[in-house]
A and B are shown apart, each in its own frame.
Chain A
């Protein structure tokens, strides 16, 4: 069974530029999560989808971050414009509907210069 796929694996941009990350969850997983993991810290939930609806986005900085999951499968997370403090690893995870166990992708490491 294929795991959670993310791309790109690494991205370097300058501040004020835009960037987008892509996630393809495990087939059949209705729930999708985006996390931000700053160096030395645990993952922090940014947004959680159930199919194509948002379950929670209370910790998403909506002035610059956006995410969508239009067809209830793949998802994209965008930052526009990026700030230095956005440098982090962005993790995508998925789970079966109603199940607590999350399966994580390898993450996208973002460096904002």
Chain B
């Protein structure tokens, strides 16, 4: 298979809450994994990435660890802010396919 599956949204949290957005993938090999963020009215921006197993990508307080054994790349943040409200996309590239593959996106809404 060649797919990326994300948890359905919207995820609604209060400010300073802990965030987890689940992402799993299927691939024949070992792809590079990405999280992109899309703020309202804007294009996608790379948030973080990991290129091999056990690598941890991090940026702006967000983290995700490449877990080969569970084929997962869950996004986490210890304390979300209102400004983190956006749509988050998990993606992969490589690992048997050279076509970039994106998940459906997970909307995050953070209330003050």
Contact = CB atoms under 8 A, between A and B. Distances in A.
The answer to whether A and B assemble together is yes
Interface of A: 3-4, 33, 40-45, 48, 55-56, 58-59, 91, 93, 100-107
- A-side binding surface: helix, strand, loop or mixed? loop
Interface of B: 4, 32, 34, 36, 41-46, 49, 51, 89, 91, 93-94, 98-105
B99 A42 contact: no
A104 B38 CA distance: 10
Nearest to B6: A42
Contacts of A93: 43-44
20 contacts: A4-B43, A40-B104, A40-B105, A42-B89, A42-B104, A42-B105, A43-B100, A44-B102, A45-B99, A48-B99, A55-B98, A56-B99, A91-B43, A93-B44, A100-B49, A101-B46, A102-B44, A104-B36, A104-B45, A106-B42
B4 A104 contact: no
Contact of A33 (B45, B100, B104): B100
Given A42-B102, A42-B105, A104 B93 contact: no
Contacts of A45: 99-101
Contact of A107 (B36, B43, B102): B43
Nearest to B100: A45
B100 A102 contact: yes
A41 B105 contact: yes
Contacts of B51: 100
Given A42-B4, A58-B99, A104 B105 contact: no
B49 A101 contact: yes
The listed residue with most A CB atoms (<10 A of its CB), out of B44, B45, B99, B105, is B44
Nearest to B98: A56
Contacts of A4: 43
B99 A100 contact: no
Nearest to B38: A104
Most chain A CB within 10 A, of B4, B32, B34, B99, is at B99
A76 B105 CA distance: 26
